[in-house]
Every structure is written in structure tokens, then in C-alpha cells.
Chains A and B, each alone.
Chain A
Amino acid sequence: MTARRVASYWMVFSVVLALLIAAPLVLPEFWRQFLTEILIWGLLAMSSDLLVGYAGMVSFGHSAFFGLGIYGAAAALLSITPPNLWLALLFGLMAAAGVAAFVAYFATRLRDIYFAITTLIFSQIFYVIIFTWTEVTGGENGLTFRRPPLAVPGLFSVPFTSETLHWFVLAVVTLSYLLLRRITQSPFGMVLQSIRENEARTRAIGYPIERYKIVAVMLSGLFAGLAGVLYAIQNRFAAPDFVFFLVSGEVIIFNVMGGIGTLVGPIVGAAFFLLLREGFSRFFTEYYLIPVGLIFIAMVIFLPQGLLGFMRRSLNR
């Protein structure tokens, strides 16, 4: 990659980042929270892109990773007082990692459609467990809890404001993006992409495909769980709806709308979808999914590379 391209990439990156940092200072409360939500769903979609866009594995399991991240954080915030931000992160990530390991073990030996269906079924298994195990998970009604303060034990503890929460989320999402970018550009990421291009050949060369896939699923699950923890902190409730496979479907919609295999595209896709939803709900109330769904279908047919698809090459250098 030429020096100029590197420079221009980072310049654009910095500008966008600066805008996102400044945003909560100028936006009204509603849009502030909206932007934070976009970032969180964007992180979830990014984690899915690692699998879909780079490893070529369509997963409907992200709702499980995401949901378990939320419930893991909830567990920490409800069982340990005072509510601790870092423990919430830890619990959430561990829960998501556990689920991811479980799913990875069973599903990665299957190809394509079977993998997709299996991950979908796993989401539903967890949904049913959470829905019916009312004593532990609150069942249908879910759990509510308090937001933990931004605290470094022993140094300071200050409750989140919606601005500081936004910046915290932004920091986490930005770091995740940079990390994921590093991963996709590393030798590991290259092997994943080679698996996506031609699995048989990659296996013939001698790579242990299953192991790479398992690691990919686990990484994806971790970042999805991270998104879940952030969601829990922002919204302060957990509900089984987040584990339902439809959420995974929506995430894939973000991926496709934004552009598969671009990492940043999914965030744009999430923004696009959520904005459409916002816009259409003014007119269609809860039936916004009809026009949004139609737009999605049209995009699959006419713009399958997504909004940022044309930038895929440059975003991946």
C-alpha cells in the first residue's frame, strides 16, 4: 500500500473519529443515545463480518453471543455490589466465550447451510433456556439492573453521563475495530480469507481448517459479547428477545447493507438500517419493517456488495 494511501486512510479515520467524539456535545439527548446505539450494533455487526466477510461463514448465532454478553453483564451487576464495570465486562465476555466455544465445537465441522442452520438452532436453544428458566434469568420479563459507574478501583469512581458513556462506547468500539483490522490483516486473517475463497485448496495445502474456523467463531463471539455488555450498560435491562434468532438476521442485514468484508461497512449498515427504522416509524409505526425489508431485498438484488462495497479493496489494505 502506497504511503499516500496509508496517510489518506488514517486521515479519513481521524476525521470520522473526531466527528464521533464531538457529536454528543452538539446533539440532543435522543440522538446522542441513538448514536451510541448505532455504535453498539455496529460492533455486533463487525463481529459478524469477521465470520461472514472474511471466513465466508454465515452465522445466525450472533444473537446468542450478544444475548449471553448482556446476561453475563447482568449477572455481574446484580450479584455483586457495588456494581462493577470491569466485572460486568469480564462476566459478559466469559459467558459469550463459553457459548462461542460450545457453538464452535459443534458447528464448525459443518459446511455452509448446515453451519447456518446449526447456529440458528443454537440461538433458539439458548432462547428457550433463558425464556423458561425464570428463576435465574427472569424469563419473559428479563432482568433490570443499575448502570455501573466508570471506576478504576482505588483511583476514582464517577457515574456515567450520556456523554461519557458515549465516549466510553466509542473508545471500546474503536479499539475493537483496530484490533479486528489487525486480525484480518494478519497471517491468521489471510488464512481465513483463503478458506473463504477455496476451502478445499486451503485444506490441501495443509492448514488445519477446523482449528482456524473455531478460533474465528470464538473471536467473533467475543466481540459480539462485548457489544452485549455495552448494550447492557447502556440500557440497563436484559431480555430473551435479544437471543432470538431474528436478531442475528438483522445483524446480517446490517452486514449486507453496509458491505461484507469491510469491517467498517457493517457499522454504516447498522446506521443505515436504524435511521431507516427511525424514519419509517414516524409514518408506519411498528410496521417499519415492511418498507425497510423491501429496501433490503432490493439491495440484495441490485447492490449486493453493500453501501461500502466499492471501497472493499481500499478498506482492507
Chain B
Amino acid sequence: MGVEQLLQAIPLDQLLIQTINGIVAGMILALVASGLTLIFGIMDVVNFAHGELFMLGAYVGVIILAATGNFWLALLAASLAIALLGAAIHVTVLRPLLGRDPLMTILATFGISLVLQNYALWQFGPVARKIQEPFTGHFTLFYLEYPWYRLVIALLSAAIIGALWLFLKFGTYGIWIRATMQDRVMAQAMGIPVPWVLTVVFAIGAGMAAASGVLFGPLVGVNHAMGLDWVLKAFIVVVVGGMGNLGGSIAASIFISLLESYASLWVSPAQAVIFSFVVLILTLLFRPTGLFVPTPK
């Protein structure tokens, strides 16, 4: 089948829906990936537990929502709670490993992910929970109906990432974080308490992952294994976008999500994932520092 025939076979409205879906999913992925790429960039650590932080955030959201009925409160509480959990994990497990072989840190996060995943399974059981959307309702796009909530997710994610960017650019701690990312040794020599900076970054990453979990919760069921898919996608995004490159990871998130969205018009979602894998492999072969990095270093 030629490309034109392929395209003609898909009605325009489906293409449009998939584009928006792709962007929405991309923004959530960007939220997860920004935290991950910061952690990568500053600590050289592959945080395997990131998916579980996402998942636990969703669960905390479920609990708070059930207790208070307020979605936004749940979002805030989950982000804070998981940020604290992230800080605690970093201080107890990751800080002692600071001077050592990075492999050990990677393994430690892998161990943490196993523990957290099974903890969730133990506490909440295998049945998926649901987070109710804060509001329902559709708006009309041309002649289509598209749910408001999805649009709000995208905007909110963009807002959170924007806030992060501002924090990094102008806040005192933001400057410390950027300095530590560039040259950890000189940051120390300039009086920056690097171990604490690392903890804060880890906590921020965790909080953002948790927020994504709550935001995404209404779209899928909340269950103990939901982190796995996201962790893989987030890894791909971080590599394709460039390790430690915030802008790159956002661009890559949207790119990958759009790719998968379009691909799922023809193949099943499970197989659509292969497209992302292929992009990753091509990136690693030809532009290992990242597709969206302006100049290869």
C-alpha cells in the first residue's frame, strides 16, 4: 500500500484526535521525563524507581481524593508526599553511595523499584483503582467532541514544567542546581552544599513524577504495574532528548508520543512502542548525545 493510500484510509478527524492525544500524552511524559533528566544530568544516575514514584503518586492521589473529594488537593498532596519520599530515599540509600561506582546506585534504584512495586501490590491489591476526573465534559473541535480534561492535563503539565524552568533560571537554589550539574567539584569549592542539592533534585523529580501519576490517573486505571511502561518511555525520551537537557526531553516526549499515537492507527498500542525503540536505536547510532541537542558535543 502506498503512503497516499495509507493516509487516505485514515479519516482526517482520527488523525486530528491522535495528534491531540499524542500531545497530551507527550506533556505527561514530559513531566515524568523532566524529573528523570534532571536526575540523570546532575547525578549520572538511571533512576529505575522513577516509574514507581509515578505509580505511588497516583495511589496517594486515590487515597486523598477518596478522603477529601477534592482532585486538586489530591494532586498537591501526592506531589508533596512523594517528593518527601524521594528525599528520604535519597538520603538513606543514595547518599551513602555517592562516591562509589555509579553501577551501584543504578542497582540500588532498581532494588527500590522492586520494593515499592511490591509494596503497592501488597497494600492496594492487584485490582486497578480509578481516579475520577475533576470535571467531565467535552468541547467541540471542528465536528468532534474532545474531553476538556485531557486539554487541561496538557496545560497543567506545561505550567508545572514552566514553573520548574523559572525556578532553575532565577531561584537561588536553581542556580545551585545548574552549577552542580555543570561542575560538581567546583560547585563544592564555591560553597554549594552539593549532597543537599542532589537530594532536592531527586525530590523535585519524584514530586513531578507523582503529579504526572495523579494527572494521568483518570485516563487509565491505577495499579501497581503502571510505572513500568512509563519508566521505559521516560528512558527513551531522556536519551533521545539529551541527558540533562530539559528542553530536549520535552521536545522528545512530544515527538515520541506523537509517533506512537500515529502508529497506533495502524498497529496495536503494544506494538506502537517498537517505533519509539527504533527511534532510540537510531539516535544512539547517529546522534548519541541526543536528537534535540543543538550541537553534538
Binds B, one of A8-16, A227-235, A288-296, A307-315: A288-296
Q: Check if A249 is an interface residue, CB within 8 A of chain B.
A: yes
User: How long is the Cα–Cα vector from A58 to B114 in the complex, in angstroms?
Assistant: 18
Binds B, one of A118-126, A158-166, A182-190: A118-126
Cβ-closest chain A residue relative to B105:
A300
* A118 x B284 contact (CB < 8 A): yes
Which B residues from 56 to 79 make CB contacts under 8 A with A? none
Question: Which among B118, B119, B277 has the greatest number of chain A C-beta atoms within 10 A?
Answer: B118
Q: Check if A114 is an interface residue, CB within 8 A of chain B.
A: yes
Binds B, one of A37-45, A105-113, A214-222: A105-113
* A58 x B103 contact (CB < 8 A): yes
B interface size (C-beta, 8 A): 39
* B46 x A286 contact (CB < 8 A): no
**Closest approach, in angstroms, between the C-beta of A270 and any C-beta of chain B?**
16
Binds A, one of B94-102, B145-153, B158-166: B94-102
**Closest approach, in angstroms, between the C-beta of A22 and any C-beta of chain B?**
35
Cβ-closest chain A residue relative to B276:
A121
Instruction: Give per-residue flags for A119-160: 1 if the beta carbon is below 8 A from chain B beta carbons, else 0.
Output: 011001100110110000000000000000000000000000
Q: Check if A1 is an interface residue, CB within 8 A of chain B.
A: no
* A286 x B112 contact (CB < 8 A): no
Q: Check if B219 is an interface residue, CB within 8 A of chain A.
A: no
Q: Check if B136 is an interface residue, CB within 8 A of chain A.
A: no
A128-B239 contact in complex given A256-B107, A293-B114, C-beta closer than 8 Å:
no
Cβ-closest chain B residue relative to A301:
B96
* B106 x A58 contact (CB < 8 A): yes
* A297 x B115 contact (CB < 8 A): yes
**Closest approach, in angstroms, between the C-beta of A314 and any C-beta of chain B?**
22
Q: Which residues of A contact B103 (CB under 8 A)?
A: 52, 58
Q: Check if A73 is an interface residue, CB within 8 A of chain B.
A: no
Cβ-closest chain B residue relative to A252:
B107
Question: Which among A52, A124, A129, A300 has the greatest number of chain B C-beta atoms within 10 A?
Answer: A300
A297-B235 contact in complex given A121-B277, A128-B270, C-beta closer than 8 Å:
no
Chain B contact residues, majority secondary structure: helix
Q: Check if B268 is an interface residue, CB within 8 A of chain A.
A: yes
User: How long is the Cα–Cα vector from A110 to B285 in the complex, in angstroms?
Assistant: 9
User: How long is the Cα–Cα vector from A28 to B241 in the complex, in angstroms?
Assistant: 55
Q: Check if B32 is an interface residue, CB within 8 A of chain A.
A: no
Q: Which residues of A contact B270 (CB under 8 A)?
A: 128, 131-132
User: How long is the Cα–Cα vector from A135 to B110 in the complex, in angstroms?
Assistant: 34
User: How long is the Cα–Cα vector from A301 to B100 in the complex, in angstroms?
Assistant: 10
* B46 x A297 contact (CB < 8 A): no
* A132 x B284 contact (CB < 8 A): no
A289-B281 contact in complex given A121-B232, A132-B271, A304-B104, C-beta closer than 8 Å:
no
Cβ-closest chain B residue relative to A260:
B103
Q: Check if A172 is an interface residue, CB within 8 A of chain B.
A: no
Cβ-closest chain A residue relative to B270:
A132
Q: Check if B274 is an interface residue, CB within 8 A of chain A.
A: yes
Chain B residues packing against A (C-beta within 8 Å): 44, 46, 48, 93, 96-97, 100-104, 106-108, 110-112, 114-115, 117-119, 121-122, 232, 235-236, 239, 268, 270-271, 273-274, 277, 280-281, 284-285, 288
Would you mind naming 17 contact pairs between A and B with Cβ atoms under 8 Å apart? A106-B281, A110-B288, A113-B102, A114-B284, A116-B46, A121-B235, A121-B281, A128-B271, A128-B274, A284-B122, A287-B119, A290-B118, A290-B122, A293-B111, A293-B114, A297-B93, A300-B97
Chain A residues packing against B (C-beta within 8 Å): 52, 58, 106, 110, 112-114, 116-118, 120-121, 124-125, 128-129, 131-132, 249, 252-253, 256, 284, 286-287, 289-290, 293-294, 296-297, 300-301, 304
Q: What 3 pairs between A and B have smallest CB-CB spacing?
A: A293-B115, A297-B111, A293-B114
Known: A132-B270, A300-B107, A304-B104. 7 other contacts (CB 8 A): A121-B232, A121-B280, A289-B117, A290-B115, A290-B122, A293-B111, A296-B107
